């Protein structure tokens, strides 16, 4: 099984999608939106671990000057998939959990450190804030 097929099967399983085509569509949309959010070393390091086809979708996006808040990220996914915000949150979390499995916790931690607060939940993690 190729690395791309493995990633796609993880997304399909986590998202409980009925077809591979549905999982692939969700994977492409979430990676495209994520590609518009990341810059610097984290962008390069994530691109390096993604399978070729997923890397192409991710890297084709021009990053925004500043990443958007997590709710705006989910709204962009919902808009691109033509679905509800609830479904888009599910889709986003399914893909980001699979990407974290692929890239490892260390890179996911670095990515989260460069995104606004609120993204941790989308990565399937607790959104803990340090006590003041």
Return the pLDDT at 124.
Answer: 87
Pair of tokens at residue 98: 């699979």
Name the CA radius of gyration of the chain, rounded.
Answer: 14
As a whole number, the mean pLDDT across the chain is 94
| Whether the predicted pLDDT of 53 surpasses 60 | yes
> Domains of the chain (ranges plus CATH)?
3-122 (1.10.490.110)
pLDDT for 11-34, tens place per residue?
A: 999 999 999 999 999 999 999 999
Q: Is the pTM of this model over 0.85?
A: yes
pLDDT for 29-44, tens place per residue?
A: 999 999 999 999 999 9
Q: Residue 30: what are its φ and ψ, rounded to 5°? A: -65, -40
Return the pLDDT at 128.
Answer: 58
**Alpha-carbon distances of 40 from 37, 45, 68, rounded to whole Å:** 10, 9, 16
């Amino acid at each position: 099984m190729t690395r791309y097929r493995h990633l796609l099967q993880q997304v399909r399983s986590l998202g409980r999608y009925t077809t591979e085509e549905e999982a692939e569509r969700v994977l492409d949309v979430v990676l495209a939106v994520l590609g518009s959010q990341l810059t610097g070393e984290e962008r390069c390091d994530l691109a390096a671990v993604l399978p070729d086809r997923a890397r192409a979708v991710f890297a084709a996006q021009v990053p925004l000057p500043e990443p958007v808040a997590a709710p705006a990220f989910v709204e962009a996914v919902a808009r691109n998939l033509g679905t509800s915000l609830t479904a888009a949150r599910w889709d986003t979390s399914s893909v980001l959990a699979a990407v974290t499995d692929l890239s490892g916790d260390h890179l996911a931690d670095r990515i989260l450190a460069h995104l606004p607060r609120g993204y941790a939940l989308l990565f399937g993690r607790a959104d803990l804030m340090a006590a003041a």
